């Protein structure tokens, strides 16, 4: 794990957007296409605004979420709504977007449809993870019955998850699918998130924190992009 610490979110977002553009540009130069996986929640909103304005061949970029709540994109807690309203604007309007949502009552009934959409995707170029205070990342929640299935080395690319300590059923990329990326970032804002990170980095997994599967992975290198201060 490499901890990159910034004075405030403005400095973090400027640096982060630059890194992401370099990665996506390199992918476009080398393979003609780039794949970016983003998280939802509150943390990435200002980064999305910064990214949406950068000059890039966005029509060659495919964006998808690491996870989403099982809500259609008119609902305020939908991660897809956020991505469409904030990231896929300005220059980034030209990007392709792959939804993790399907119009089924339960996420568990939508897995096959979502799996079909993402089955043929190549190695991602960049994955931006978020983290909750329970150590969940994407929608790999420690409280859910599905946690072992989502962390298994042979897990399918996506799975439906029902957290018991957070609202909504979810659709989440699995640990192996998220790890299949050239670059892996963990985006954290606020001292409380740093405290969770420090707990997750500690030797003992008490309480169990899914983010550890990334931070302690024998091969994956996670670049943590952190600031204590909003603004």
Ligand X SMILES: O=C1O[C@H](COP(=O)(O)O)[C@@H](O)[C@H](O)[C@H]1O
Between CA 59 and CA 39 the distance in angstroms is 20
Between CA 148 and CA 175 the distance in angstroms is 10
- Taking CB under 6 A as the rule, does residue 210 contact ligand X? no
Counting every residue written for the chain, the total comes to 231
- Taking CB under 6 A as the rule, does residue 39 contact ligand X? yes
Task: Supply the minimum distance, in Å, between the C-beta of residue 171 and ligand X.
Answer: 10
Residue span 72-111 as binding mask against ligand X, x where in contact by CB under 6 A, dash where not? -------x--------------------------------
Task: Give the total of residues touching ligand X (CB under 6 A).
Answer: 11
Q: What does the buried/exposed string (b/e) look like for 93-102 if buried means 16 or more CB atoms within 10 Å of the residue's CB?
A: eebeeebbbb
- Taking CB under 6 A as the rule, does residue 142 contact ligand X? no
- Interface stretch with ligand X, choices 20-28, 37-45, 91-99, 209-217 (CB under 6 A): 37-45
Token pair for 75? 């609902």
- Taking CB under 6 A as the rule, does residue 227 contact ligand X? no
Applying CB under 6 A, among 25, 62, 99, 139 the residue interacting with ligand X is 139
Cβ pair 107, 161 in contact under 8 A: yes
CA 26, 214, 17, 95 torsion-angle sign:
positive
Cβ pair 226, 2 in contact under 8 A: no
Applying CB under 6 A, among 110, 132, 135, 150 the residue interacting with ligand X is 132
Chain residues that interact with ligand X, rule: CB under 6 A:
39-43, 66-67, 79, 130, 132, 139
């Amino acid at each position: 794990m490499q901890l990159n610490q910034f004075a405030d979110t403005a400095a973090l977002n400027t640096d982060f957007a630059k890194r992401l553009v370099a990665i996506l540009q390199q992918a476009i130069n080398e393979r003609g296409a780039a794949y970016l996986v983003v998280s939802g929640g509150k943390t990435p909103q200002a980064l999305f605004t910064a990214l949406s304005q950068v000059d890039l061949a966005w029509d060659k970029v495919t964006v998808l979420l690491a996870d989403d709540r099982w809500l259609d994109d008119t609902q305020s807690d939908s991660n897809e709504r956020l991505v469409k309203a904030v990231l896929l604007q300005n220059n980034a309007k030209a990007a392709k977007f792959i939804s993790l949502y399907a119009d089924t009552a339960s996420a568990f009934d939508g897995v096959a449809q979502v799996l079909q959409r993402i089955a043929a995707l190549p190695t991602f170029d960049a994955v931006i993870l978020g983290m909750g205070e329970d150590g969940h990342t994407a929608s790999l929640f420690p409280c859910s019955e599905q946690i072992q299935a989502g962390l298994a080395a042979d897990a399918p690319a996506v799975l439906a998850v029902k957290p018991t300590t957070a609202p909504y059923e979810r659709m989440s990329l699995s640990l192996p699918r998220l790890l299949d990326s050239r670059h892996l970032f963990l985006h954290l804002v606020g001292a409380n998130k740093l405290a969770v990170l420090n707990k997750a980095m500690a030797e003992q997994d008490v309480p169990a924190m899914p983010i550890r599967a990334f931070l302690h992975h024998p091969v994956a290198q996670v670049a943590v992009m952190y600031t204590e201060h909003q603004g």
